[in-house]
Structure 1
Amino acid sequence: MSTDYKPNSKLDPNAKFADNERLKTQSNFLRGTIEADLKDQLTGGFTADNFQLIRFHGMYQQDDRDIRPERTKQKLEPMHNVMLRARMPGGIITPKQWLAIDEFAGDKTIYGSIRLTTRQTFQFHGVLKPGIKEMHQMLNSVGIDSIATAGDVNRNVLCTTNPVESELHQEAYEWAAKISEHLLPHTKAYAEIWLNGEKTETTEEPILGSTYLPRKFKTTVTIPPNNEVDVHANDLNFVAIADNGKLVGFNVLVGGGLAMTHGDVNTYPRKADDLGFIPLEHTLKIAEHVVSVQRDWGNRVNRKNAKTKYTLDTFGTDTFKAEVENRAGVKFEESRPYEFTHRGDRIGWVEGIDGKHHLTLFIQSGRILDYPGQPLKTGCRKIAEIHQGDFRMTANQNLIVAGVPADQKDIIEKIAREHGLIDDSHSEQRFNSMACVALPTCPLAMAEAERYLPELIEKTEAILAKHEIPNDDIIMRVVGCPNGCGRAMLAEIGFVGKGPGKYNVYLGGNREGTRVPKLYLENVGEDVYLPALDELIGQWAKERNEGECFGDFAIRKEIVAEVKVSKTDFHA
């Protein structure tokens, strides 16, 4: 079977492909002229196609937007730098690896921080052009790379951390790692450019195709009842089905995605569809052919409609499923029952079935840096220097110190408390709020997110206290644009940036992460949405049913309509 793109029958065969398709076709399997660009000292950035191609190598070109106007006034180009996102399937990192990335972040980046992301990995922000190659070589020396963590490929594979049921988690994690490896690009461009590897000719990409995927592709492995990875935000999800504590297979969910475009009703967030159950031995085959169908049927004309969710809505889920079955030679069985009950991290200590202890540290917005009175980065480094287990980065931007023997608990907790990594004053509202990076580094951000979140949490806490429910919480997420990074479109209250200080406010998601919220207020500032939330939270406090979360209350009271089918309901 050919791995080249075949235009799907739903599109005009004479339609002009998006320019990204030309770029990939002419890139010599993602090499482009990146090496020549690296030697260009006239600019701190990457030019022409290379600006896009470096994404396939795990990097985005950015600049500090806070200082951009001043540099423009001085007739200087923006302070170009790159953000790197590492490939860490399942979010597991060793203390040795942690110490290496800590040192590089402190010595070789503009901002000095390590940032944990909603993709269950870490990012470096602010690496200048002369240090990029050194960064990749440092990562390689400790067994880390950034291959395919961005661009039109399968990205970092997420896995429920689940430190308590250690044996089941280990099995699920191993499958996340296998899926990640199986779906990686075969081109050796990464090693050639960044690691001075031997030049080799690439003639094909057996799974991804010579022009790779139509758009980014995200995959998870999750262990119910925890939905911390937010399966409905991802193209492909393997929901673990266990029998007597042993993994026997997966339910396969396809077609989730949260990105949209302001003002474009043909774009929308969408939940994933359940295609059915597969035994373990078919996992890689099914993963490969969900990808291959999306590769061949996805929209390469309009990138705004190129994600898997739109392919399912164009062809129909049953047709997509049948094609996967045909290519894989595997029939899906009837889905096995499972239930999601929560998706937050259990902050603090828990004990696993193996007798080991696990400490989940809350890291607001995932930003690990030494702040006045809160030297978080130093604290993590001191723990890494003595820790005998591993670390697990969560999809909620937190950090688990996993596999701690009983005789090390006290010293690790002491370090964590002394460095502000444990703060008993934090509310449940703070634990269940999240933001994307946004300003000043993200070029797509329309409004603040990470820098605004602490203030918004405090104001929300005050509203909860005013209505005499200070210990209750609402899953709240703030993002600087509608691209979906902070998963606001699965929140009970989602703020999506529209302009400086202005947000669209969405209500009606649920605790389990199985419902898309709906627009409640459009393009408003604090003067509008804070009084509105004050009124709604007051109503919730007085009129809710026992145990009813805010999102469910908003649907039951018809504050917003329930989004059942995104294509028809989200913009209605």
Structure 2
Amino acid sequence: MTTSDPRAKLPDAPLADNERLKDHSDYLHGTIAADLKDGLTGGFNGDNFQLIRFHGMYEQDDRDIRAERVEQKLEPLKNVMLRCRLPGGIISPKQWLGIDEFATEHTMYGSIRLTTRQTFQFHGVLKNDVKPMHQWLHQLGLDSIATAGDVNRNVLCTSNPIESALHREAYDWAKKLSEHLLPKTTAYADIWLDGEKVFSTEFTQPETQEATDKVEPVLGKTYLPRKFKTTVVIPPLNDVDLHANDLNFIAIGDNGKLVGFNVLVGGGLSMEHGNHKTFPNTAYDFGFIGLGDVLKCAEAVVTTQRDWGDRTNRKAAKTRYTLQRVGVDVFKHEVEQRMGVAFQPSKPYEFTERGDRIGWVQGEDKKWHLTLFIENGRLLDYPGKPLKTGVREIAKIHQGDFRLTANQNLIVAGVSARNKAKIEKIAREHGLINDDTTEQRKNSMACVAFPTCPLAMAESERFLPGFIDQIDAILAKNSVQDENIILRITGCPNGCGRAMLAEIGMVGKAIGRYNLYVGGNRAGTRIPRLFKENISADEILVLIGDWVAAWAHGREKGEAFGDFAIRTGIVKPVVNAAVDFWDESKVPA
């Protein structure tokens, strides 16, 4: 504890009930194993409803048929969604074939969902298949440890397939960070794998860090105050949207060799409608560190947040709120003390792109990489477009790897010149390559929302394709059909679709109604501002139509829509989200 301890500034209030739950969980075991045998419900009882999140799962139900089942005096059709741990998003063709088989034979929907967390999700797994699912993943060399809950979640890494050598080094660090920050409890293995060892749980306690718990030396018995997200980013591509994350390592190269990282802390996008104490925020620059200090730095940031985060109010528990409460300089100094190293001044870098490079590119290693655009990340066989089958057929012959991107797309990486034409043929035959896909569609994204997400207030994934048809028509009408606006839609304000880093963001408020945000930028470094609240999709289309017409005729050379919106005063920029995100005076009447 420091001399002037920031914990003294925490509210004098009872701990949130999640803290009791974690404290009494026996290091995440709970009574999950016994609960699996309860055939009276398709769901999980009591604390286990929350505890399964630490094992990578959320309990859900099919909301499309919820009312019908209630009428039939049946409980909702409960099932789980599982999110795999896949640091850096890399998976082998053999593993892909395994997850494809499970999704086909053991899920309600049969789909594989690529997510903004650079991994895949199974949706619709019934209770009897939950334990076999974990064992299936284990046989493939995969797991879902800590992809949800109050822990460090799946570590993202830029998928850049061109700078092959630098990407390989950065990806290795994403794996190391993931493994170092994982829970050390044996609960996952005990419950799902009958005690079989998953990976080494050896831990070396740094001399500068006081031991807090023998089982969980980094996370502690009650884990983190709230979820925590980490990325590794390779400029100039900000494809992971670093400002959506608590801890970010920006790779600094020298002649193609990784020499260290700039560290940014405290990004995050979730908020609550109308709650002015919540806000999205971009991350703060702490400085540069060398490669020898990466794990110490990550641990120092995590343990500082562990000890200083607000455990009384979960809405104020994320890292960005801790930074706001104690001060960025105070938090940074504590991190330096804990890791025993001072940050150096940050090295120069620039972001010029954010989306994925759809199509073929050739890397430094002369191998080819095919990025497939997967709308909303949903791999399923549709009439005339059997996407899931297509990826399976590619996996049968592909000798490189697959890379899942944080933009819900899929890269077939490391393709030899000999196999290039064969893989393209399969992709085209199955609708995985469509030359008519517009730039606007490629740069639009949605979260899952209905029917499976329990938090959804409005449609998102199912709504997006038709909405983009209408946006494309607006762009064509104004002769800018080859341009695009970064547009994102989420079913609620929790931030999964990263609408708070879009040029135009729509956040679900009620069925058919959204809050409309505008003014983010192409690089993903500016938060958009609320323009109008609780309006229909038709009203939004009218506004976008007017904006696009003005942009098409009045923009400066190369000016992106978000910058145009700020320059022309559609809204004023969000400069300091903690202070001015909710400032209604920044939107002209």
* TM superposition score normalised by structure 1: 0.98
Report the aligned-residue RMSD: 1.4
2:7 maps to 8
Distance 1:363 1:198, change over 3 A: closer
Write the letter of the residue equivalent to 2:93. Answer: P
2:235 maps to 224
Write the letter of the residue equivalent to 1:326. Answer: Q
Q: How does 1:415-434 map to 2 (within 5 A)?
A: 415-434=426-445
1:338 maps to 349
- Identity over aligned residues, as a percent? 68
Conservation of the 8 A alpha-carbon contact between 1:179 and 1:284 = yes
> Once the two structures are superposed, what CA deviation does each residue of 1:511-530 show, in whole Å capped at 9, x if it has no partner?
00000000011100023111
Conservation of the 8 A alpha-carbon contact between 2:6 and 2:326 = no
2:274 maps to 263
Write the letter of the residue equivalent to 2:111. Answer: S
Q: Residues of 2 paired with 1:245 and 1:468: CA distance?
A: 40
1:360 pairs with 2:371 = yes
| Runs of 4+ residues over 3 Å off in structure 1 | 198-203
Q: How does 1:385-464 map to 2 (within 5 A)?
A: 385-464=396-475
Q: Residues of 2 paired with 1:450 and 1:12: CA distance?
A: 39
Write the letter of the residue equivalent to 2:500. Answer: M
- Which one of 64, 81, 84 corresponds to residue 83 of structure 1? 81
> Once the two structures are superposed, what CA deviation does each residue of 1:133-179 show, in whole Å capped at 9, x if it has no partner?
11000100010000000000000000001111111000000000000
Q: Residues of 1 paired with 2:396 and 2:34: CA distance?
A: 39
1:167 maps to 165
Q: Residues of 2 paired with 1:279 and 1:500: CA distance?
A: 49
> Once the two structures are superposed, what CA deviation does each residue of 1:267-319 show, in whole Å capped at 9, x if it has no partner?
00000000000000000000001000000000101100100000111111100
In structure 1, stretches of 5+ residues that fail to align are: none
Q: Residues of 2 paired with 1:111 and 1:148: CA distance?
A: 24
Q: Residues of 1 paired with 2:540 and 2:159: CA distance?
A: 35
1:326 pairs with 2:337 = yes
1:101 maps to 99
Q: Residues of 2 paired with 1:553 and 1:190: CA distance?
A: 50
Conservation of the 8 A alpha-carbon contact between 2:55 and 2:145 = yes
2:317 maps to 306
2:533 maps to 522
In structure 2, stretches of 5+ residues that fail to align are: 202-212, 584-589
Q: Residues of 1 paired with 2:330 and 2:575: CA distance?
A: 21
Conservation of the 8 A alpha-carbon contact between 1:242 and 1:249 = yes
Conservation of the 8 A alpha-carbon contact between 1:7 and 1:296 = no
Deviation at 1:27, TM superposition (A): 0.2
* TM superposition score normalised by structure 2: 0.95
Conservation of the 8 A alpha-carbon contact between 1:299 and 1:305 = yes
Write the letter of the residue equivalent to 2:240. Answer: V
Deviation at 1:34, TM superposition (A): 0.2
Deviation at 1:12, TM superposition (A): 3.1
Q: Residues of 1 paired with 2:116 and 2:97: CA distance?
A: 21
Deviation at 1:204, TM superposition (A): 2.5
2:523 maps to 512
After the TM superposition, which of the residue ranges 460-469 and 97-106 deviates more from structure 2? 460-469
Task: Please give the secondary structure, in 1, of the residue aligned with 2:8.
Answer: coil
- Which one of 487, 494, 498 corresponds to residue 487 of structure 1? 498
Deviation at 1:199, TM superposition (A): 10
Write the letter of the residue equivalent to 1:486. Answer: G
- Which one of 23, 40, 43 corresponds to residue 41 of structure 2? 43
Deviation at 1:569, TM superposition (A): 1.1
Deviation at 1:235, TM superposition (A): 0.1
1:293 maps to 304
Deviation at 1:468, TM superposition (A): 1.3
Q: Residues of 2 paired with 1:130 and 1:181: CA distance?
A: 29
1:535 maps to 546
Conservation of the 8 A alpha-carbon contact between 1:114 and 1:367 = yes
> Once the two structures are superposed, what CA deviation does each residue of 1:94-122 show, in whole Å capped at 9, x if it has no partner?
00000000000000000000000000000
2:284 maps to 273
Conservation of the 8 A alpha-carbon contact between 2:11 and 2:312 = no
Deviation at 1:11, TM superposition (A): 1.6
Deviation at 1:458, TM superposition (A): 0.4
2:207 maps to none
Q: Residues of 2 paired with 1:12 and 1:216: CA distance?
A: 20
2:138 maps to 140
